[in-house]
Structure 1
Amino acid sequence: MRARPLFALIVVSLAALSAAASQAQNDATAPQPPQSKNATAPAAPAPPPSVTIIGARDAHGVLGRDVRSPTDEDMGRIVDVIVDRAGMVRAAVIDFGGFLGVGSRKIVVDWNALHFGRIANKSDSITLELTKEQVTAAPEYKEDTPIVVLGASGSLQPLQFDH
């Protein structure tokens, strides 16, 4: 049953790309008006964008997801993702503790300490490979200050930025 919508999406995407490529080719072969000596050459048309199709069961957003310990303790929820200058995901910011937003604090955990085993539904949680005591002892995350990232097994490499 799910194959039909996915197939239809692929067909529509390919048709759109084909139409864009055809239009770009027609624009390139159309006669050009004479140019004055001071006019700049027109920019080449941009190539059509690439298209990647990800199945609905294969990828999900993580912001706002509940985080649980391996022993099913509530560890908070993911509120942000930290990337380095190369665009590599390095860590997640977790809003931990408190009740209804009162008394909570943000901590940063190594991305590799998170396990995304079954997150097919928004109600599914992500597992954090740390204990509640380790997370409680972690320093609080504050923007515009050095980030202390809590790693599961000490394997985290420090972020190195050129100034």
Structure 2
Amino acid sequence: MSGGLPRPALRLPTPLLPGALAALVLSGCALFHGQQPAPVTDALVSTVEPASEPVAASEPEPEEPETTGHDQPHKPKHPTVKPHKPEPPPPVVASAPVAPPPAPIITTRLIDRSQTHALLDSEVQRRDGKVIGRAVDLVADAGGKPNEMIVNLQGFLGIGDRKVSFPWSVFRFTPGGHGSPITLDVPVGKLPLADRPKRAGAGVPVTATQLPLLDTTVERPNGAAVGRVVDVLIDGSAQPQAVVLDVSGMVSPDRRTIAANWSALRFVTKDKLLHALLDLNDAQIKASPPYASDKPIQAVSPVVPVAAAPASAAPPTAPPAAASPARASR
């Protein structure tokens, strides 16, 4: 194009123009001072990091084995856990069988002392309360029933005392031990002739039909002595409930008394004389509670051991059948 200035061949972008001009000015200044112009770099400001400490080289990682297309990665095997067998329980030690308690050898019956009356040496009075004597003995018949009571009638200052036998049916007993007297309920003058008191003198003799109990020795069926009767306990109905026996020397040398049930006595006639029997052995005597006037009354009876039942006889076995005769051969 004629008539004007030629167009420059290179046109710098407008954003780079100020930077280029600044570079030219600086380079020109450097020429005046004789210094070489610094190379222009793309980065105007570079950040220099301080030198750091040398880093220790890490261990080389193990190389993984190359796998082919056919090889599959191995699956991790889990450890096989075997089921734990439960330990068997410890063997149960069989305990020794407990032995059953020994069978009782005696039975005891509790008797209310306030409902009984001790016979020996109890006061005997009339209906009006006048004391005429003391009871000294009881006479039993062959059936074991009281038949008579012997009373020691009092004289003046002990002079003229005498023993008289009265029928048992004329007395009334008030329970309470020795404190309550025995009452002669029927006037002596009005008793029938057969029931009038008889002079006992030295005592009532033992016969085949009567037995004075006080100081009598009670025996076992084999004749061995059990003890000596020292008292008889009577209830309010004039019925004997127990006898008190002195068993000293039977199981120990010490003095000891026990109470035996009246029902445990048996009256038998031997050698034309009446005897009182009580089947009480030494072990049963030892197991009997002692009798004391200030303790509850425990009257004992022997336990008769139950005999073992005889084994039932086995039924007779049938005789074996006779073998059939063999057939004769043709």
TM normalised by structure 1 equals: 0.53
Among 92, 102, 124, which residue is 1:23 paired with? 102
What does residue 87 of structure 1 align with? 144
1:1-150 superposed matches below 5 A: 22-24=101-103, 48-117=105-174, 119-131=175-187, 133=189, 138-142=197-201, 143=203, 144=205
What RMSD in Å do the two structures reach over aligned CA positions?
3.0
More helix by share: 1
What does residue 82 of structure 2 align with? none
Residue 68 of structure 1 contacts residue 74 of structure 1 at CA under 8 Å; is this kept in 2? yes
**Identity within the alignment, %:** 23
Report how many residues are paired. Answer: 106
**Larger relative contact order (Cα-Cα within 8 Å, sequence gap ≥ 6):** 1
Question: Aligned-pair distance for 1:139?
Answer: 3.3
Determine the C-alpha separation between the residues in 1 that align with 2:130 and 2:147. Answer: 24
Structure 2, unaligned stretches of length 5 or more?
1-99, 211-268, 273-330
Determine the C-alpha separation between the residues in 1 that align with 2:105 and 2:206. Answer: 41
Question: Aligned-pair distance for 1:60?
Answer: 2.6
Residue 76 of structure 1 contacts residue 97 of structure 1 at CA under 8 Å; is this kept in 2? yes
Determine the C-alpha separation between the residues in 1 that align with 2:189 and 2:170. Answer: 15
Residue 69 of structure 1 contacts residue 132 of structure 1 at CA under 8 Å; is this kept in 2? no
Question: Aligned-pair distance for 1:120?
Answer: 1.5
Question: Aligned-pair distance for 1:90?
Answer: 1.1
Determine the C-alpha separation between the residues in 2 that align with 1:94 and 1:105. Answer: 8
More strand by share: 2
For residues 106-135 of structure 1, give each alpha carbon's deviation from its aligned partner in whole angstroms, at most 9, with x where no partner exists: 111111111013x41523211112325569
